[in-house]
């Protein structure tokens, strides 16, 4: 590939003759690794015009660079970066500009600090026993129909509507599918101005928290809970109270709050389902004590053991429940598409905030998902996943019993994971390191807990990405590691 002429500038402050300055630009680019062996240089005429210097100056600089092996001349084809050109050092730390600004101090490292403890190997697919949560199993995904829908959404007819900047409304086809197909399954009747598309569930929770919270406000969150939510609340400026869940999820007596975050249908990570009476109590309390409930309804599609319980939102008579849903668990996580459902005044605020932060989710993805839903591929995929997860769960159950591991929470509806307890005194973080060396990936539980009430003996075992045939051996390895660490 040719190096564009725009890659070259003569800055005012540099000393030396024009010829030596041109030479320095080229060598600097090669040494910095910007220009690679084999790349074509601009013509001497082109570079001369671009820099506003005479052509002979460039020609002389090029000749000099050829003699020093930075460039080679290939007759009428022009000049190329030489294959023998001095190489960029592999670790060119010394070449970084001096950093005069302490960015860590400027931002108080608030965001990197909040991310500490996130640790999932990028190459998790290379591990034979990945009991890892929330990733796609490529053997279950309906690649062919996804591709067909994406292709249809790439068609010329859809192009105009998908390439424009639009923030006032989302893709009407997808909104219709969510209103007609998805939400009714959760017992939710909503209208167009009550739904906002988001960049995945994380973005939905962040938008809700940012609209509803801030300094002087008070949030209540489940303990343990989804670590991504805890991070959001930690940097929101609001006070945060963690309330321990029991086998029925969030208990009904809560400390004073402006906003309560709950995973009522499928507590994360314990898998508990909040019973109907407790749900009604929570909504009564919300009305009596004037707080708002944010319901993260992740993974409801994976209820394969019993019919799914209705969403909290379906029982909401006062517009007090903000509902967050996502296609990340049911289609695939890297797609980044979720949604919020709430009263129009809330949705308007969240839409304006979304617009300020990222404008809108990419149009092409919205339309692809709309087709995937409308053509029924989504239902077929969910069905296939349910059947596979039901079988895997049985294999997990058998292996866990056989090896005498302790289940701390499994829920009664399905899902894709078990919440496990190691024996007293075991720290599951070093355990996870030991297991990783043995090809087994587990998720240590510490990150789910309020740091002030840290628990280290829990861990999560997901079965959404592991081949069923691998499960027994993987569980056996965990049991052996636990026996050694006891």
Q: For residues 375-404, which are near a second copy according to CB under 8 A?
A: 376, 379
Taking a C-beta distance cutoff of 8 angstroms, is the pair 340, 294 a contact?
no
Q: Which stretch binds a second copy (CB under 8 A): 71-79, 118-126, 262-270, 447-455?
A: 118-126
Shortest spacing between CB 411 and a second copy, in angstroms: 17
In sign, the C-alpha dihedral spanning 312, 314, 317, 321 is positive
Tell whether residue 475 is a contact of a second copy (CB under 8 A). no
Near a second copy by CB under 8 A: residue from 41, 81, 162, 274 = 162
Shortest spacing between CB 303 and a second copy, in angstroms: 8
Taking a C-beta distance cutoff of 8 angstroms, is the pair 73, 79 a contact?
yes
Tell whether residue 36 is a contact of a second copy (CB under 8 A). yes
Go through the chain and tell me how many residues it has. 486
Nearer to a second copy, 248 or 358 (CB): 358
Tell whether residue 23 is a contact of a second copy (CB under 8 A). no
Residue indicated by tokens 């129909």? 145
Tell whether residue 158 is a contact of a second copy (CB under 8 A). no
Mark 300-339 with x for binding to a second copy (rule: CB under 8 A) and - for no binding. Answer: -------xx-x---xxxxxxx-------x---xxxxx---
Nearer to a second copy, 359 or 453 (CB): 359
Shortest spacing between CB 258 and a second copy, in angstroms: 8
Q: Which stretch binds a second copy (CB under 8 A): 148-156, 247-255, 453-461, 474-482?
A: 148-156
Tell whether residue 61 is a contact of a second copy (CB under 8 A). no
Tell whether residue 97 is a contact of a second copy (CB under 8 A). yes
Nearer to a second copy, 150 or 476 (CB): 150
**Exposed/middle/buried for residue 78 (C-beta within 10 Å: 0-12, 13-18, 19+):** middle
Q: Which of residues 179-238 bind a second copy (CB under 8 A)?
A: 179-181, 183-187, 189, 191, 199-200, 202-203, 206, 211-212, 228, 231-232, 235
Nearer to a second copy, 29 or 474 (CB): 29
Mark 337-376 with x for binding to a second copy (rule: CB under 8 A) and - for no binding. Answer: -----xx-xx-xxx-xx-xxxxxxxxxxx----------x
Nearer to a second copy, 125 or 244 (CB): 125
Shortest spacing between CB 104 and a second copy, in angstroms: 5
Taking a C-beta distance cutoff of 8 angstroms, is the pair 207, 338 a contact?
no
Shortest spacing between CB 319 and a second copy, in angstroms: 4
Nearer to a second copy, 403 or 470 (CB): 470
Nearer to a second copy, 80 or 457 (CB): 80
Tell whether residue 101 is a contact of a second copy (CB under 8 A). yes
Name 176's Cβ contacts closer than 8 Å, sequence gap at least 6. 370
Mark 249-288 with x for binding to a second copy (rule: CB under 8 A) and - for no binding. Answer: ---------x-----------------xx--x------x-
Shortest spacing between CB 401 and a second copy, in angstroms: 29
Shortest spacing between CB 73 and a second copy, in angstroms: 22
How many binding residues for a second copy (CB under 8 A)?
127
Q: Which of residues 398-457 bind a second copy (CB under 8 A)?
A: none
């Amino acid at each position: 590939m040719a190096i564009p002429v725009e890659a070259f500038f003569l800055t005012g402050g540099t000393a030396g003759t024009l010829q030596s300055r041109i030479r320095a630009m080229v060598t600097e680019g090669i040494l910095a690794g910007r220009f690679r062996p084999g790349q074509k240089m601009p013509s001497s005429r082109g570079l001369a015009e671009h820099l506003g210097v005479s052509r002979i100056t460039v020609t002389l600089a090029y000749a000099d660079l050829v003699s020093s092996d930075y460039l080679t001349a290939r007759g009428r084809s022009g000049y190329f970066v030489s294959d023998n050109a001095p190489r960029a050092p592999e670790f060119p730390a010394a070449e970084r500009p001096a950093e005069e600004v302490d960015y860590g101090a400027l931002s108080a490292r608030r965001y990197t600090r909040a991310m500490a403890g996130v640790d999932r190997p990028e190459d998790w697919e290379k591990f034979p026993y990945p009991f890892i949560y929330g990733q796609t199993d490529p053997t279950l995904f309906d690649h062919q129909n996804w591709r067909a829908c994406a292709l249809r959404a790439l068609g010329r007819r859809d192009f105009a509507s998908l390439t424009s900047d639009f923030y006032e409304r989302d893709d009407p086809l997808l909104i219709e599918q969510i209103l007609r197909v998805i939400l009714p399954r959760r017992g939710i009747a909503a209208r167009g101005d009550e739904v906002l598309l988001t960049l995945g569930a994380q973005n939905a929770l962040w938008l809700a928290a940012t609209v509803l919270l801030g300094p002087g406000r008070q949030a209540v969150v489940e303990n343990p809970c989804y670590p991504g939510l805890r991070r959001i609340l930690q940097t929101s400026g609001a006070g945060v109270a963690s309330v321990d869940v029991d086998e029925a999820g969030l208990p009904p007596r809560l400390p004073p709050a402006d906003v309560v975050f709950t995973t009522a249908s499928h507590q994360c990570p314990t898998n508990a389902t909040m019973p109907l009476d407790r749900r009604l109590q929570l909504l009564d309390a919300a009305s009596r004590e004037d707080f708002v409930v944010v319901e993260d309804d992740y993974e409801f599609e994976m209820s394969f053991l019993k019919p799914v319980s209705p969403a909290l939102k379906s029982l909401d008579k006062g517009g007090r429940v903000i509902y967050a849903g996502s296609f990340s668990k049911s289609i695939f996580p890297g797609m980044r598409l979720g949604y919020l459902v709430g009263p129009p005044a809330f949705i308007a605020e969240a839409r304006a905030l979304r617009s300020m932060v990222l404008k809108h989710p990419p149009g092409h993805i919205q339309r692809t998902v709309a087709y995937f839903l409308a053509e029924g591929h989504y239902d077929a995929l969910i069905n296939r996943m349910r059947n596979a997860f039901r079988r895997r769960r049985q294999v997990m159950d058998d292996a866990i019993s056989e090896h005498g591991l302790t289940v701390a929470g499994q829920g009664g509806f399905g899902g894709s994971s078990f919440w496990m307890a190691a024996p007293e005194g075991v720290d599951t973080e070093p355990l996870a390191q030991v297991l990783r060396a043995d090809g087994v990936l587990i998720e240590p539980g510490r990150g789910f807990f309020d740091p002030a009430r840290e628990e280290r003996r829990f861990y999560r075992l997901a079965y959404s990405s592991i081949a069923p045939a691998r499960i027994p051996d993987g569980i056996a390895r965990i049991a052996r590691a636990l026996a050694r660490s006891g």
